[in-house]
Amino acid sequence: MSWRTLETVGWFALYIGLIAFVLLWNSAPAFYREIFIERSISDWVPDGTRDYVPGTTIAGNELNAVFAGGWWTPQGELRWSKGKFGRVLLRPTRALPTGSRLVATVSALPVWFGPPRELSIGIDGQIVEQRSLGPDPQRIEVPVPAAVAAGDELEITFAIDRVQTPQSVGASDGAMGVGVALHEFAVLAPP
Amino acid sequence: MLAALRSSTFVKAFALAGACLAFFALAYVFVELISGGNWRDLCDWDCKWYQSIAERGYDVDPRARPYDLQANYAFYPAFPLAVSAIMAVTPLSFSQAGMLLSGLFSGLFCWLVLVFYRELRLPDERAAIVFLLAFLLSPFSLANHIPYTEMLFNLAALATFVAWRREQYVAAALCGFVLTATRLTGVVLPIALLLELLIRERWRIGPMLLRPDARMRALAVMPLGLASFMVYLGLHVGDPLANVRVQEFGWDHGFNNPLLSLATAFFANSALAAAGAGTIIGVTTLLVLGIRAGRIPIPLAALAFFSYAIPATSRMMSVPRYALAIFPVYLVAAMLPKPLQRVLIPLLALLQIVAVHLWLTHHLVLV
């Protein structure tokens, strides 16, 4: 094998090493990984907590650790889901007994052609609401299907049947895919 | 080298660049005088990010301020490092040092064009001067006069291409290294040159790979500017792809379907989207015409095309700047009949005055 062939081997090794480094190296802090790589947190709030006092209204444009993966950073008065799904994870500081309710205000981009968007809301894996959704904000109130003990994690998923881009409906020049717009939500214990 | 520097071409090149810069300065003075004389800072938008890199280095964490996940490692290092080097040895501020560097890069760019115009398929020195005037006086060349990466990117791309064509492969490798450390899209030029080489010598790809020559070596070195930045980010932030990720999270610059992005831009009720889409179609048409007429070398056309096509996959904002502050498309100016050239250049210069006004009023079309 000549020196020049060895040089080719060397270049290939260098580039394979670089690609491996780019794909596999990961020494970022856990919080960075959760936001940028695992996408399980949406907002940069290093001291944030998912502890949630039942009855507290959380605005969609609030920076809050309860916004788990699937959300864009807030825009104006709301925030958009990044694709079809946006998840909220919270830990109630008090038990949520049977009869607790999720109250949320949501909307979607307008539709120029075809049927309206279909929204689904899931709580801890169970679909609790399905309805059509348009650009006008809708206040939705649905029951939490089971009691939740204090400190247990409650997962709420806002899902929509199709992703759109703001640009495609003339809302802005943004070409990022968005689904549900979350204006605000709260989980209320029964009185 | 010294003889070349002393030559009249060198003086002519810097006189030309200086005249274009003087026109830009006069446009700035004119706009400020008619709008109240506030003497606003030309360092705005991305310039502030370059300034933060030059003054305090790269961030580790994104900015902890509401509504963004932005960090200065979204920006490539070559230009801010060059400015910080000037700042280290002079008392100049970032804006002053950045403007000085952009002016110096303009002069060197003009010199390369005037000396090596044949490599750019320009027939004579007059055509070279027409190209330079159209390029440097065009409205979006505002970005070539302020502390932005554009002029370094243009200079590095031109120098890489000229050195490659003149078979000066060590120079090509070094300039290509700077190019890929200036912007992500810089990596398009080495890829285009590699493809051109492989197509031209397709019957001996095997021997070329087994016994690499200076050309292959130069092409292998060029992307190392980008690779070095990624390794740095891996060690500094902990994620070699931090630059790409923060672009997506902080500026909504993810990668989407480019055709869908272009098609929907026409239906968007947004002047910015329409301007971006119109620019894409117009500039792409000019690039194709330039290639067909044999006046724009294909690797440079590819560089120009991907400089705006890649950002356009995420959003149309900034697409006019990405497309129109890069030099290859202006090579078509030298193809035009002389009467048309005499109209085009003053028209572009007038539009540059408008661009200065829009820049100083933070108009988004120039971002």
Residue A57 and residue A1 in one domain:
no
Q: Which domain holds residue A23?
A: 1-30
Nearest-angstrom CA–CA distance, B351 and A11: 47
Flag if A5 and B211 touch (Cβ within 8 Å).
yes
Nearest-angstrom CA–CA distance, B334 and B134: 9
Other Cβ atoms closer than 10 A to B122:
22
Flag if A36 and B246 touch (Cβ within 8 Å).
yes
Query: Phi and psi dihedrals of A188, rounded to 5?
Result: -110, 130
Flag if A173 and B209 touch (Cβ within 8 Å).
no
Cα three-residue angle B75-B247-B362, rounded to 5 degrees: 70
Residue-wise pLDDT tens digits, B122-141: 999 999 999 999 999 999 99
A146: which residues sit within 8 A by CB, 6+ positions away? A98, A124
Residue A122 and residue A158 in one domain:
yes
What is the identity of the amino acid at B185?
T
Residue A112 and residue A167 in one domain:
yes
Nearest-angstrom CA–CA distance, B3 and B223: 32
Overall number of domains in chain A? 2
Chain A interface includes B313 (CB < 8 A): yes
pTM beyond 0.80: the answer is: yes
Q: Which residue of A has its CA nearest to B271?
A: A173
Residue A58 and residue A14 in one domain:
no
Which single residue is written with the structure tokens 């950002």? B311
Flag if B315 and A176 touch (Cβ within 8 Å).
yes
- Those of residues 249-288 in B touching chain A at CB distance below 8 A are 249-250, 252, 254, 256, 260-261, 264-265, 267-270, 272-273, 276
Mutation site, B209, B252, B318, interface A, largest A CB count within 10 A: B252
Flag if B238 and A35 touch (Cβ within 8 Å).
no
Q: Helix B78-89 crosses helix B46-56 at what angle (to 10 degrees)?
A: 50
Query: Phi and psi dihedrals of A190, rounded to 5?
Result: -65, 150
Q: What is the pLDDT along chain A (191 residues), one digit of tens a residue?
A: 788 889 999 999 999 999 999 999 999 988 889 889 988 888 888 788 999 999 999 999 998 999 998 898 888 899 999 889 999 999 999 999 999 999 999 999 888 777 888 999 999 999 999 999 999 999 999 999 999 999 999 999 999 998 887 777 776 666 678 899 999 999 999 98
Q: Which residue of A has its CA nearest to B365?
A: A173
Residue A125 and residue A46 in one domain:
yes
pLDDT of B363: 84
Query: Phi and psi dihedrals of B13, rounded to 5?
Result: -65, -45
Mutation site, B231, B232, B270, B317, interface A, largest A CB count within 10 A: B270
* Helix, strand, coil percentages for chain B (3-state, nearest 5): 75, 0, 25
Size of interface A-B (CB pairs under 8 A): 130
pLDDT over threshold 60, residue B65:
no
pLDDT of B2: 58
pLDDT over threshold 70, residue B102:
yes
pLDDT of B248: 85
Q: Which residues of B touch A44 (CB under 8 A)?
A: 61-62, 64, 69
Other Cβ atoms closer than 10 A to B91:
7
Q: Which residues of A touch B227 (CB under 8 A)?
A: 18
Residue A116 and residue A80 in one domain:
yes
Mutation site, A6, A21, A44, interface B, largest B CB count within 10 A: A44
Contact A120, A185 (CB under 8 A): no
- Half-sphere exposure (Cβ direction) of B74: Cα atoms closer than 13 Å: 22
Nearest-angstrom CA–CA distance, B155 and B105: 6
**Largest CA-CA distance found in chain A, in angstroms, rounded:** 83
Q: Which residue of A has its CA nearest to B244?
A: A36
Contact A190, A183 (CB under 8 A): no
Across the interface, of B210, B261, B270, the residue whose CB is closest to A170 is B270
Write the CA distances from B151 to A142, B108, B144, B154, integer angstroms. 58, 10, 5, 5
**In the structure encoding, which two tokens stand for residue B330, read together?**
């202006």
Chain A interface includes B69 (CB < 8 A): yes
Question: Closest approach of chain A CAs to the CA of B243, in angstroms?
Answer: 11
What DSSP letter does each residue of B115-151 carry, written as one string?
Answer: HSGGGGT--SHHHHHHHHHHHHTSGGGHHHHSSSSHH
Nearest-angstrom CA–CA distance, B79 and B73: 13
What is the identity of the amino acid at B277?
A
Residue A7 and residue A66 in one domain:
no
User: Given its phi and psi angles, is residue A63 left (phi above 0), alpha (psi -120 to 50 degrees) or beta?
Assistant: beta
Question: Closest approach of chain B CAs to the CA of A47, in angstroms?
Answer: 11
SS3 (DSSP) at A188:
strand
Contact B139, B355 (CB under 8 A): yes
pLDDT of A173: 64
Closest CA to A135 of A158, A159, A111, A118: A111
Residue A74 and residue A20 in one domain:
no
Residue A5 and residue A56 in one domain:
no
Q: Which residues of A touch B235 (CB under 8 A)?
A: 27
Q: Which residues of A touch B220 (CB under 8 A)?
A: 11, 15
Cα three-residue angle A83-A85-A91, rounded to 5 degrees: 135
Burial of residue B38 (CB within 10 Å: 0-12, 13-18, 19+) is exposed
pLDDT over threshold 90, residue B64:
no
Residue A97 and residue A11 in one domain:
no
Burial of residue A21 (CB within 10 Å: 0-12, 13-18, 19+) is middle
Strand partners, A101: A143, A188
Residue A49 and residue A125 in one domain:
yes
Question: Closest approach of chain A CAs to the CA of B30, in angstroms?
Answer: 32
Contact B176, B225 (CB under 8 A): yes
Q: In chain B, what are the domain boundaries?
A: 13-366
**In the structure encoding, which two tokens stand for residue A38, read together?**
């695992």
Q: Which residues of B touch A166 (CB under 8 A)?
A: 268
Residue-wise pLDDT tens digits, B201-251: 999 988 888 888 999 999 999 999 999 999 999 999 999 999 999 988 888
Flag if B240 and A21 touch (Cβ within 8 Å).
yes
Which single residue is written with the structure tokens 């008392």? B91
Nearest-angstrom CA–CA distance, A48 and A30: 14
Q: What residues in chain A have their Cβ under 8 A from chain B's Cβ atoms?
A: 2, 4-5, 7-8, 11, 15, 18, 21-22, 25-29, 32, 35-37, 44, 46, 61, 63, 72-75, 112, 165-177
**In the structure encoding, which two tokens stand for residue A28, read together?**
């970022």
Across the interface, of B216, B249, B267, the residue whose CB is closest to A168 is B267
B118 pLDDT tier (thresholds 50, 70, 90): very high
Residue A53 and residue A26 in one domain:
no
Residue-wise pLDDT tens digits, B248-270: 888 877 777 777 777 777 766 67
ipTM tops the 0.85 cut: yes
Residues constituting chain B? 367
What are the strands, taking DSSP E only, across chain A? 51-52, 58-59, 79-80, 85-92, 101-107, 117-123, 126-133, 138-143, 154-160, 181-188
Closest CA to A72 of A82, A63, A64: A82
